[in-house]
Chains A and B, each alone.
Chain A
Amino acid sequence: MSLNFSSPLFLYGLLGIAVPVLIHLLTRRQQKHIRFSAVYLLAQSQKRSIRKSRPNRLLLLLTRCLAITLFSLALADPFFSFRQSEAFLSATPTSIVFILDDSYSMGTQVGKRTLFDHALEFVFEGVKQAPDKSEYSMVLASSPARIKQDWTSDKTIFEKVLKEQSVSFRTTRIGDAIDQSIKLLDSARQEKKKIFLLTDLDKNGWKEEAFSKITHLAPYPVKVLNFSSLQSDNNKGMVQSAKISQEFLTQSRLLRVKVEIRNFSNILSRRPLSLFLEGKIVKEELLNIPPGQTLIHEFLYPLRRNQPLNGKVQISDDALTTDNSRYFSFHPSQNIKVMVVDGDPETISHRSESFYLERALNPFSVSLSHIDPTISTLAELPLRNLSDFSVVILANVRELSPDYELELENFVLNGGALLFGMGDQVNPKYINERLGNLLPVKLDSQYQPKEGEPPLHLLLKNNTHPVMKIFSPKELEEMREINFYSMYTIQARENKIFKVGTWFSNQNPAVIEANVGKGIVVLFLSSLDRDWNDFPIQPTFLPWIQRWTQYSARGLDSIFRQNFLVGETFRQNASGSDSNWIVRAPDGALHLLGNEEEVFSNTFQPGIYHLFSLPSSETSSAIQKTLAKIPNGAEPAGTFTVNIDIKESEPGKISQKEIESFLEGMKIEIQEPHSQTATPKTSDGIPLATPFLLMVAGMFLIEGWMVRKE
C-alpha cells in the first residue's frame, strides 16, 4: 500500500510553498505586548466567541501552503496503490546478476517511458534495497550477449554503469546471457546467488540453439521479470521491408520503392506511410492494413538527378517506434564500360561470342543493366584507348597484337578487369607465355568428355561467392543442369594466388579469379558462346555474366546495394586495394579502417552508413581511429544501409513452460514487476489527481473567503 507518482518531476512544485511563507513573513504584523487587567475575561471570551474559529493569518498561511502542496501533488499524477510490496531481496548479502534485455523490443512505450526505463528503475531500486556487502554484475542480453559490469560491491559504480545504459537496436540472445551469468555466478563471492532476468519475454530472444550451447545449467535461482505486463499498448505493426529498384520507361526514370507493412493487431489498421528522401517527406499515403496481414505498397518517385538517394519509409508511431521505419539507399547506376574483344567473329552473328555477350550485358536498347558494352575485333584493339573501359573481355582470342599484352598488364595493374573466355581459337602456348604475368595459371589442354560420357556440369555447392549470392536455389538448380561439352584444364603457377569461383563436375575449375595489382583477372574455362556449352542461351547466363562483369569491375555497384541488419558485419570487397576506408555512421561518428581491415562491425545503429575511400598516402599517423571530420582527399565510395532485424518485432511471447524447458535444472520464478519494487502503473491503484485538484479548488475558495474576512 503506497502512494506513487506518475510524473514525480512536478513534485518540485512543492518549492512553491516558499511563496505563501514569504508573503506571511513580509506582511506579518508586529506583535505588541500589553499588560491588561481582565485577561481571564479575554480568555473566557475567546472560548465563547463564535468568531474564535475565524481563521487567523497562520491558518491562511496553512491553507495557501496546503493548496500549493495539493496542486503540485495533483500535477505529479498521484495514485494510491494497494499493492503489497514484497521484500525485493533477503537480508543476507547476495551475489546478483542482473540480465538486462536491452533489445529494441524493450523500447516499447509505456506512457512516456519505455519498458527498458522501467527495467532500469527496477534495478536501481533493487540495488538500493540490497543489503550491504552484496555484489552485483550486469549482463546485457541483446545480441551478442555481453558482460557490461563484472562483480562489484560498490553501489555507486554500478548505478553509474546503469545510468549509461540505453535500449539498443539489437535482437535478444537470452541463452547466451544466461550462459554468461552462470559463469559470473560461478566466480561470485557470496554464498547466496541469484539471477534477475529483466525482459519482455519476446519469443525471438529464446532460441534453442543458444540454450543448447550453455555448458552447464547450475541450479541458481532465476527470477524472470516480465516487463511486457506493464504494456498498455501493443506494437501494432512494422515496416517489414523496403526494396528499391529502378524503373525504366521510355523516356523517364522512376524509383520504385516496394514497402511491406505488417499489421500485428486484430483490427484493420489505418496508418499513414511516408516516404522520406534526403530527410524530407516526398510522399505520403494512408493505408488500410488488414488485421494480422502484410500489405505491399509501392511508391514511384521520378528520378531527376543521376545522384545517390538515401531515404527511409516510415509508418505512424505506435508503442514500439523502432520498427516503424526502414532505411534504403539507392545509387542510380553508373554504366560500366566494357570492351568485348571477339577473337572469332563470325559472319553469322549468333555464332560469335560478341553476339551473346553484347545481349547479355545490355539486353535492351536503353541501359537497363548499366553495362555499356563495346564490341571490338582484334584488329581494332590497338586503336582503342583502354583507359576508357573498366572491363575488357577477351573472348576466344588467339593472339593479341605485338606488345599489346603489356598494355593489358598496365590496364589490370591500374585497376582494370580482364575476363577471359575460352574457345577453339585460344592458343594456350601463346597465353601461357605472353600473358604469364596476368594469369595465375597455365592453360593445359582442352578437355572433352568422351563419347558416351555425360556432359560436364557446373558444381554449385555453395553460393557464398558475391557473384552467386543473388541466385535463388531454383536458379542454381537450373545452372547445374547446363551441359558443358568442352573446357580447358589448367595448371597452377608457382607463387601465384588465385581463387576458384566455380567448379566443373569433373573437379576442374570452371572460373578462376586472381587479384593483380589493383585489378582483377577472371578466367572462364569454357566458351562464352554456344560452341562448347549451352550456357549463353540459358536465362541464368544474363545475370551471371552481368554479375561477373560488375564484380570484376569493382563498381560501386557491389557496395551500395548492400543492406545489412543491425550487428551484421560489413565487408568492403575492394581487397587488394591499398586505400584506407572511412565509414560515417548515421549518428555522424567516423570510423577509420586501415587497408588491412576490410571489416566494419560497428553496425549497431540503423540508418545509412557512408563509405569514403582515402588513398594510403593521405593516411598519416596523425589520423587516428576516431576522426573529427572527413579528411581532405577522401572520396565518397558508396553507402550501405543497416536496418533492424524484424524478428524482434514479432509479438509472440515465450511461455513459462517453454522457459522452464530451456532452463531445466534452474529454479525459475516468473513474476511481473508489479509485485516488486518497480514503480507501479497508474492503473494499479486509485488515481488521486482529480480529488487533489478538487481539494485545491476547495482550498482556494476557503482562502478567498478568509482573505475577504481579513
Chain B
Amino acid sequence: MENSAQKFDAQVLSRISTLKMTAMNLVEGLLTGQHRSRHKGASVEFAEYKDYSPGDEIRHIDWKVVGKTDKYHVKQFEQSTNLKCTILLDASGSMGYQSPLKDQHSKMGYACTLVAALAYLLLKQFDAVGLTLFNDKVVEHIPPRSKASHYQHILHGLTNIPPQGTTRIDDVLRGLAERLPGRSMLILVSDFFVQNQDLQKSLKLLCSRGLEVILFHVLHPDEIHLPFEGDIVFESLEDDPTLGLDPKDIREQYQKTIHDHINSFKKDCNGLGVDYVFLDTSEPLDQALSYYLLKRKSLIKL
C-alpha cells in the first residue's frame, strides 16, 4: 500500500488539496455535505416557501408571513448532501502508450494521477468515491465510499492496472448505467480511442438517469502531433492491424483527424450537458485541473 501511495506525486496532491470539488447539479446523497440536494432539508440556507399541509413540521412555519397574509407558509431550506462519485478509468491497451521519443509521463501514469487527485479531492469533501477500471469489460470495481481510508483502496486499485485489451466504453457504460446510483457523478477518464461505438447514445442514457458526467480526455502529445520521422511500422496497442508508413506523408491529415475527433467529442458533450475536459499529458496536471475546477466553480449556480 505504501508503494502505491509513493507512486503518485505528493506535490500534485498537495497543490490540489485546497481545491474543492463542487457538483454543478443537485446530487442526491445520504450524508450532509456541501452540495445542494434536490430535497429540502435542514440546512440554514433558505430555499422557498410552501403552503402548509398537515404533517409539516410546525417549527418551519414562518409566523411573520402568517401575520401579514393570514396564511400558513412553511419555510423550506436547501438540503446539503454529500456526492457519490464513480470514476471510470480506461485500462485498455491504448492507455499504455509511452513515447519512444523522450521520457515523458506515460498516458496511464497521467490518468492515474488525475484519478488519484480527484478521489483525494472528493474524499476530502466527505464525498463517496468509487473506482471502476475497464477495457472491453469492467476489470475492477471499487464501490463508492466516503471514508478517508477508502483513498487507500482507490490507490491500491490504481496500482494494479496493466493496460491491455481493447476499449469498449459503449458496452461498459451501458452495463454500468443500471448499477450506478441515480443522480450521482460519473467521471470518465479515457483516451477515447474507440472505433465504431456510439458513445453519444451511452452518455445520453447516463444523463437521462440524472448522472452528472465529466469526461477527461487524456492524450499524449505524440498522439496529437504525430512527431515521428522516417519509415515506421506502427504496431497497435490494441487489436488494429500493423501499419507501415512515413508519418510525414499523413501528418497533416492525421492532425486534422485527431482534432476532428476531439471536436466531435466536445460538441457531443456540450449537447448533452456533459463536462468535457481535454488533457494533454505534456501539460502539468495541477495546472490543468486547477483551471478546470476554477472554471467549474465560476459556473456553479448559486
Contact = CB atoms under 8 A, between A and B. Distances in A.
Nearest to B247: A42
Nearest to B258: A41
Contacts of B51: none
A60 to B, nearest CB: 12
B189 to A, nearest CB: 15
B47 to A, nearest CB: 48
A29 to B, nearest CB: 5
A46 B232 CA distance: 13
Interface stretch (B81-89, B126-134, B249-257): B249-257
A26 to B, nearest CB: 15
B198 interface: no
B245 interface: yes
Contacts of A56: 246, 249
A32 B107 CA distance: 21
B191 A40 contact: no
Nearest to B254: A45
A34 B240 contact: no
Interface in A28-46: 29-46
A708 interface: no
Nearest to A28: B231
B250 A40 contact: no
B250 to A, nearest CB: 4
Nearest to B234: A36
B9 interface: no
B249 A51 contact: yes
Given A37-B94, A38-B223, A46 B193 contact: no
Contacts of B257: 41, 44-45, 48
Interface SS of chain B: helix, strand, loop or mixed? mixed
Q: Which size class do B's interface residues fall under?
A: 35 or more
Interface residues of A, number: 25
A34 B235 contact: yes
B67 interface: no
A50 interface: yes
A31 B253 contact: no
A38 B249 contact: no
Interface string A49-74: 11110101000000000000000000
Nearest to A32: B232
Contact of A42 (B107, B243, B256): B243
B139 interface: no
A359 B72 CA distance: 185
Contacts of A54: 249
Interface in B215-233: 220, 222-223, 226, 228, 230-233
Contact of A43 (B228, B231, B243, B246): B243
B237 A36 contact: yes
Nearest to B233: A33
Contacts of B107: 37
A38 B232 contact: no
Given A41-B258, A43-B240, A44-B257, A34 B250 contact: no
B253 A51 contact: yes
A123 to B, nearest CB: 55
B240 to A, nearest CB: 4
Given A31-B244, A34-B228, A39 B235 contact: yes
Contacts of B261: 41
A41 B231 contact: no
A24 B93 CA distance: 36
Contacts of B226: 42
Interface in B81-112: 93-97, 100, 107
B195 interface: yes
Contacts of B246: 56
Given A43-B243, A46-B243, A46-B245, A34 B253 contact: no
A45 B251 CA distance: 8
Nearest to A40: B240
Interface string B9-26: 000000000000000000
B230 A38 contact: no
A39 B249 contact: no
Interface string A154-177: 000000000000000000000000
B200 interface: no
Contact of B253 (A33, A35, A48): A48
Interface centre among A31, A37, A42, A51 (most CB of B within 10 A): A37
B250 A52 contact: yes
Contact of B193 (A30, A32, A40): A40
B264 to A, nearest CB: 12
Nearest to A46: B250
B254 A42 contact: yes
B193 A38 contact: yes
B240 A31 contact: no
Contacts of A35: 97, 234-237
A380 B282 CA distance: 141
B237 A37 contact: yes
A32 B249 contact: no
A39 B97 CA distance: 12
A445 B261 CA distance: 143
A437 to B, nearest CB: 110
Given A41-B193, A45-B254, A48-B257, A36 B249 contact: no
Nearest to B261: A41
Nearest to A31: B231
Given A41-B193, A41-B261, A34 B233 contact: yes
A35 B240 CA distance: 11
A36 B236 contact: yes
A40 B241 CA distance: 8
A42 B261 CA distance: 12
A38 B94 contact: yes
Contacts of B244: 31
B254 A41 contact: yes
B243 A37 contact: no
B97 A37 contact: yes
Interface in B102-161: 107
5 contacts: A31-B244, A37-B236, A38-B191, A41-B254, A42-B226
Q: Shortest 7 CB-CB distances between A and B: which pairs?
A: A37-B94, A49-B253, A39-B236, A39-B240, A45-B254, A45-B253, A37-B97
Interface of A: 29-46, 48-52, 54, 56
Interface of B: 93-97, 100, 107, 191, 193, 195, 220, 222-223, 226, 228, 230-238, 240-246, 249-250, 252-254, 256-258, 261
